[in-house]
Amino acid sequence: MNWMKKAVITTSWVALSIIATVSGMASAETAVIVNPANSAELTADDVAKLYLGKTNKFPDSSTATAYDQKEGSALRQQFLDAVVGKSESQMKSHWSRLIFTGKGVPPKALDSDAAVVAEVASNPEAIGFVDSGAVTGDVRVAFTF
């Protein structure tokens, strides 16, 4: 009896974690977010330019501050690949060209989705990318992918 109970519990844990994984995959969409006060229409190309340091302005000429996520996260790799068109090491190589010539400072990396959402919610110039599941009503989603 006891072993049976144990098996049932284990099985349900497995089932639960499979469900969690599947739903995790389903919502593994990434959102590029800006402050609600920012009404700029953004394309992936505009966002790529901001993260590559090619401009520090939104298309409407207002100042932009891009926020990055921690190196090595799947979210960041996906964002760089889909929006910026670079791998993490290519991104690093690109930025080392700018940093070591005094041409620019790379986007600051924040610790978590929540930290990015909080920054973007409070800073009208900010732009960031987070898992869609982390988006709150305090930020505006520019686009998802």
Partner 1 sequence: MNLKRIGLRTGALAAAVAMAGTAQASDVMINGFASFYYGNVMDQAEIPDGDSHRGYSEPGSFQYDSQFGLQFTSQIGDGLSAIAQMTAEGRDGYKSHLSWAFMKYELSDSWTVKMGRQRVPFFLFSDFQKVGYAYSWVSPPNEVYNLGGLENTDGVMFEHHTDLGSVTSRLNLLFGSSSQTTNFGSFDIDIDNENQIGMFWDLTYDALTFHLTYTTSDLTISSYSDVGNGINATLTGINPALALSEDELDLMTIDEDKVTYLGAGLSGDWGTWLAAAEYASIRIDNSPVSGDRSSWYVFTGYRWDAYTFGLTYAAYSSPNNDDTIDVLESKNIEPTLQMAAAGAAANGDSFAAYGISQLSAAIPGVYRSGEESSSYTLSVRYDFHPSAALKFEYIQEDVTLMPDDGTGDQEFSPALARIGVDLVF
The site for partner 1 (CB under 8 A) is made up of: 54, 71-72, 85-86, 88-90, 92-93, 96-97, 99-103, 105
In this structure, which amino acid lies at residue 97?
A: R
Burial class of residue 33, CB neighbours in 10 A (0-12, 13-18, 19+): buried
Find the shortest distance in angstroms from Cβ 25 to partner 1: 24
Helix residue ranges, H only, 1-145: 2-26, 44-51, 74-79, 88-99, 113-122
- Of 125 and 132, the one with the shorter C-beta distance to partner 1 is 125
Find the shortest distance in angstroms from Cβ 93 to partner 1: 5
- Of 2 and 89, the one with the shorter C-beta distance to partner 1 is 89
- Of 76 and 140, the one with the shorter C-beta distance to partner 1 is 76
Query: Using CA of residue 97, residue 103, residue 105, residue 107, what is the dihedral sign?
Result: negative
Round to whole Å and give the CA distance between 2 and 6: 6
Find the shortest distance in angstroms from Cβ 136 to partner 1: 28
Find the shortest distance in angstroms from Cβ 92 to partner 1: 6
